[in-house]
Chain A
Amino acid sequence: MKMQTEQDLLKQDQQWVESIIEKDHLNRFNSTNTDAPINYFESFPDRLMQRIQMEKNNHTKPSLFKMFFLQPYGKIAVAATFILVVAGTYLLNTANKAKTATVSIQEISIDEMKNYVNNNEAIAELDFDYVIKKESASLEKLGESEIKEIQKAIIQ
């Protein structure tokens, strides 16, 4: 039933077109636009298969870059490099921190302190002399008004 209706509709549409333009003209139009060069369809499959084969070959020859990254060892190499960089950076940072780490005075034993003072006594005295000299030198440079201000401050 449905097929019949479809066929009727198709006929109606075709008749409508033919009422506008003669069927001969329509057929002539159709025949001029549904022709192909001689032997075109005989040679087409071979030409097409050659082209498909060419495209296949192009796809199977990836670039060196792709080859490297598509291979498992390439991926492993990239992962290993990444891990090395991260681990190296972490180790360097922790080493630097260890070098500059401050130690609280409570953590140093008295023996260690004594040893340090004994070993560095001369240097400590030298440093102390240097500070005294430096401070007295800068005091000499002070003007009278500045000295008075200091005296006032001391009295207060």
Chain B
Amino acid sequence: MSSDQELIIQFQQSIDREAVFTQLLRKHQQKVYYQIKRMVLEHADADDIAQLVWIKVWNKLDGFKMESEFTTWIFRIAYNETLNYLQKQKKQGSKLSNDDLFIYENASASTDEPKTTEIQIALDSAIKQLPEKQRIVFMLRYFDGCEYEKIASMMGTTVGGAKANFHQAVKKIEQFVKKL
């Protein structure tokens, strides 16, 4: 399989652009989708944003200068598109928190494995209730094992900022879980 760099050069030289782009897409679509899904949590939203992200990549790939890794660049686009999307959703009303409340109340009422379910639901709610930046940094750091430097360049922030976001996220999750 060709490297990202080779594929990008082929795309920029207009050599069978669609085929080259599809190769790039197939190679990275899952990572991009999951990154978005962790931020928005709903498949329909993640699908919408993923399409917007890849359309942007198609439009901007000609100007990509390979100063950073392709994955860093595309994750940054995904991050920005997701933030825009979430901000638009916020303006339309906070649908997410009501859903969480409903899930949490139902789960608390169930009798099967009460403690495990409760902790699981609490963890879900805790992570969902984190501010977007903290949630994203937490996901990237804990689940993806990303270095702070990479997180910082993906999110357009500093290493210190990324570290602070991670620590605040963990502290908030801890407080949430301690309430149980």
Contacts and interface: CB of A to CB of B under 8 A. Distances in A.
Contact of A13 (B33, B123, B166): B166
A37 B43 CA distance: 8
Contact of B29 (A25, A33, A37, A41): A41
Contacts of B143: 26, 30
Interface residues of A, number: 30
Contacts, number: 77
Interface string B115-151: 0100110011001000000000000011101011000
A10 interface: yes
Interface in A32-51: 32-34, 36-37, 40-41, 44-45, 47-49, 51
Contact of B37 (A20, A34, A45, A55): A34
B43 A25 contact: no
Contacts of B30: 36, 41
Q: Dominant SS at the A interface?
A: helix
A45 to B, nearest CB: 5
B18 A29 contact: no
Contacts of A40: 33, 43, 47
Contact of B123 (A21, A37, A49): A21
A96 B178 CA distance: 93
Nearest to A52: B58
B76 interface: no
Contacts of A51: 51, 55
A25 B120 contact: yes
Interface in B10-27: 18, 21-22, 25-26
* B contact patch SS: helix
A16 B124 CA distance: 18
Contacts of B25: 44-45, 48
A6 interface: yes
A10 B163 CA distance: 11
A149 interface: no
A36 B33 contact: yes
Nearest to A20: B174
B170 interface: yes
A133 interface: no
A113 interface: no
Interface string B99-120: 0000000000000000010011
Interface of B: 18, 21-22, 25-26, 29-30, 33-34, 37-38, 41, 43, 47, 50-51, 54-55, 58, 116, 119-120, 123-124, 127, 141-143, 145, 147-148, 166, 170, 173-174, 177
Q: Which 4 A-B pairs have the closest CB atoms?
A: A34-B34, A20-B174, A45-B25, A30-B143
